[in-house]
Chain A
């Protein structure tokens, strides 16, 4: 029923195309219209040195990292497959400077209350909170406390933007990009976001954990994550106490971090939650509150005992479902979306046999025929972070540009570091692309190649324009109440009617003051534009004609065979812009037309394939 590609060289008729594309787009078919299944698919045996090629080296570079330049591909292709994979796993990452903190935190902020109401309640009760005393008299006695509360929210968020920049820079220049890619995997797996954690220091610490243990033992990693302050905050561990267990933590450990649904019961979760009671943190350290810990007998996953949290984690790791779940998730992240039940089970066995060490599993995968099969190559839709970093790598950049803003771009594309949407992390694969997001991906390229001269740094522009309006009104001498009035249209939403009715402080004013204090202390992100030199790049490739320039750039950026019509039109575009096909003649004005050309290549749907 489905035409084989070998018989269908012509464009299929419209109806057929629709039916076919519809079926493919929705994933209804297990197999695409290829001539035959690639016998390498599903085969975990290693490829031989004879089978190693620049195309395969390029695939490894893309998946075990963020892609590379033609020169990097050529260098990798000169090695054997074993050497290449060894390099991916163990290359010295290079001199990577540590994160440079702005110095925004001080101990008086600890323990930071869970909300603004909790902060003002504390201040009313004790006469001070988060290092600030209630005013001795006068209007709005709690205002300085509220200002301080918002200061820390803003400052931590801004510092987290800097932390994301620092991480992105590592992704760009590290000589062991796999370490970064694996950290990104674990960040999506053990997803926590800044809005709830509200402390960049905890996020930095968690990232350090992923860098250190990312390819090590999952057993060790899981035990560490369960004691990690960012995770403990995120899953409300502090609320899980003897006699009144909060199940959030135990549930996510089983459902999202280890076994996946279907391998445990609600009773297992309730019992496991008891084992984690009392687990908490003090500032940046793990702490167990012994009085809150329930050390009675529990039944978890068919075993009975006076389990604590660590023992429950070990019980979970004994389950074959855990090894399969983790192995399959790694496979889908590094190789492809679909895998057979049989392959899933084999990968699970390998992971368990190596006592959950990730490195041997990755080595098997990266050397396997399956990894280099047609089913795996150039079939993955790049994640937004992968797209951005690999674009910068292929453009030869050595510094993440400040224009456009890395965090703004990745947020628009759907993957902002330290802000995964939910505890389940980011849905991968086709979920990365919608009609809106596909256009946004092309626009990202435009914003790199043609920087916006009206660019406003987001770390210096308040996220809510109303804060800016408050500043203007205050500077014009208005009193706080009038300056923060939201307006009085009829039919005003209840949210606006009800805002700020407390006489002891003004929330909008606090939000404004908090922002003001934050930008005075958080270091700014440097706003350099991308150091792109396409002219130099193309001439160094030896290209002398527009056609050769197009072919070099298509080869540099696309992993698939370019569509012939697309290639023809790109050549026509470049010749049109240059007024000639001769690059030597056009050498002095080459850069701008090449930027247009690269923007067009990076806007092609195929460029999304990694």
Chain B
């Protein structure tokens, strides 16, 4: 009946992982080492998924590379149509937002991100990125595990996922992620006399795991829905997020309202970037939307006064095949750029762009940077997690993305 030994072991295990060298009772207080560096406890990480496999070659376009135009005779974007960021790379015309952030030093481009033995399945590869554990069959998300490491104590609202359904990325052993889609509907309808009962959740665990789960979700909903709704109602912004906001205004609203959330997850949904056919206009539009939304979000954070506390990481589950296909589209590939943006970010380019002359057997660019090096940087250098080996099941040197 007594769970204390187990719990203590758990805490010790985590404590060791977090605060190297700390011994004794302090080791069971994992938030202690984070306090050591000022400000880190207020820092926020927003992870944005571009689902469907973004065509990285047409996102950070290597216009200085002839091989690019040979591989993409029809889909290649001509140099004069690009927003050039140096003598080799440029963004498509609609990505004015990315261009501005890059020139202001707030945007890091990490070239050629991927992992060994890539999967070309959306679902498998997305699961690898969401768990941060390729080829492992991991059941928790990397943000879920990060939340567990940052706070072994269950804290509501530590982890927020804005979507209709919960992402694997936030699946956590200890925390119930706050998942909602429309803040205005994040409220129980019901008349005055029903109110008390609508707020009642039986205290017992329930007769089956499913029932226990439902009750736990009901408790989380009760606690947080009012705060989310109020945050959304109070939020007014003059900033234009464009046509697809990727739910970033909702993130901004929660940050503005001061919710204690440190990890947010949002997605450009529904496999939008899966552009097998006639992708030119479609892909350009998708990138424009993503660029508009990200740039607007950072501008909005500036207005709110929290720009210095927030870092955004953008990723997609894979890139596309280097060569265009015969349908004016691209097929599932590997290795693509990641983007890390925010005022705390050292802008610039990281990692090597994959060679377009030496492709793998399937005609895919070969990854040059393991994506977990970005995760490691975000967890350790941004959020102050002491050691990322346990989080990422191995040693991944953090990229020097932060000042």
Contact = CB atoms under 8 A, between A and B. Distances in A.
Interface string A405-448: 00000001010000001111001001111111111101100110
B218 to A, nearest CB: 4
A573 B217 contact: no
B120 A251 contact: yes
A115 B291 CA distance: 23
B340 to A, nearest CB: 21
Interface in A548-591: 560-561, 563, 565-566, 569-570, 573, 576-577
A442 B207 CA distance: 21
Given A435-B220, A491-B299, A605-B211, A424 B123 contact: yes
Interface in B195-232: 196-198, 200-218, 220-221, 224-225
Contacts of A269: 120
Given A436-B185, A495-B243, A244 B288 contact: no
Given A414-B164, A600-B198, A436 B242 contact: no
B193 A577 contact: yes
A339 interface: no
Contact of A609 (B6, B119, B214): B214
Interface in A77-100: none
B173 A22 contact: yes
B271 A422 contact: yes
B193 A16 contact: no
A451 to B, nearest CB: 12
B173 A28 contact: yes
A243 B327 CA distance: 12
Interface string B145-173: 00000000010000001001110000111
Interface in B271-317: 271, 276-278, 281-282, 285, 288-289, 291-292, 296, 299
From B97, B205, B208, B224, name the one whose CB has the most chain A CB atoms within 10 angstroms: B208
Contact of A380 (B95, B200, B210, B216): B210
Interface stretch (A7-15, A123-131, A477-485): A7-15
B185 A21 contact: no
Interface string B86-109: 000000011111000000000000
B221 A27 contact: no
Contacts of B202: 563, 565-566
B121 A261 contact: yes
A378 interface: yes
Contacts of A496: 240, 242-243
Contacts of A266: 120, 362
Given A21-B205, A434-B180, A239 B123 contact: no
- Which residue among A29, A489, A600 has the maximum number of chain B CB atoms within 10 Å of its CB? A600
Nearest to A570: B197
Given A438-B214, A608-B214, A596 B194 contact: yes
A439 B185 contact: yes
Contact of A12 (B97, B175, B205): B205
A397 interface: no
B178 interface: yes
Mostly, the A contact residues are helix
Interface in A383-415: 412, 414
B310 to A, nearest CB: 19
Nearest to B292: A493
A75 interface: no
B389 interface: no
A379 B208 CA distance: 6
Interface in A314-358: none
Contacts of A430: 166, 210, 213
User: Taking each of B120, B215, B224, which has the highest tally of chain A beta carbons within 10 Å of its own beta carbon?
Assistant: B215
B243 A493 contact: yes
A261 B124 contact: yes
B325 A239 contact: yes
A423 B238 CA distance: 37
B97 A494 contact: yes
Nearest to B210: A379
Contacts of B7: 15, 19
A560 B197 contact: no
Interface string B311-349: 000000000000001110101100000000000000000
Nearest to A17: B205
B80 interface: no
A538 to B, nearest CB: 18
Contact of B187 (A261, A424, A439): A439
26 contacts: A3-B1, A11-B203, A11-B204, A15-B3, A15-B7, A33-B205, A114-B278, A236-B277, A248-B331, A261-B123, A381-B210, A422-B270, A432-B165, A434-B165, A434-B166, A435-B176, A439-B186, A446-B189, A495-B288, A560-B208, A563-B202, A569-B197, A569-B200, A596-B194, A600-B198, A609-B210
Given A20-B205, A603-B198, 10 more contacts: A12-B205, A24-B212, A26-B172, A239-B326, A244-B325, A256-B123, A261-B121, A436-B181, A573-B197, A608-B214
- Minimum-distance CB pairs A-B, first 7: A493-B242, A436-B180, A434-B179, A435-B221, A605-B214, A239-B327, A244-B326
Interface of A: 1, 3, 7-8, 11-12, 15-29, 32-33, 114-115, 117-118, 236, 239, 241, 243-244, 246-248, 251, 255-256, 261, 266, 269-270, 374, 378-381, 412, 414, 421-424, 427, 430-440, 442-443, 446-447, 450, 489, 491-496, 498, 560-561, 563, 565-566, 569-570, 573, 576-577, 596, 599-600, 603, 605-606, 608-609
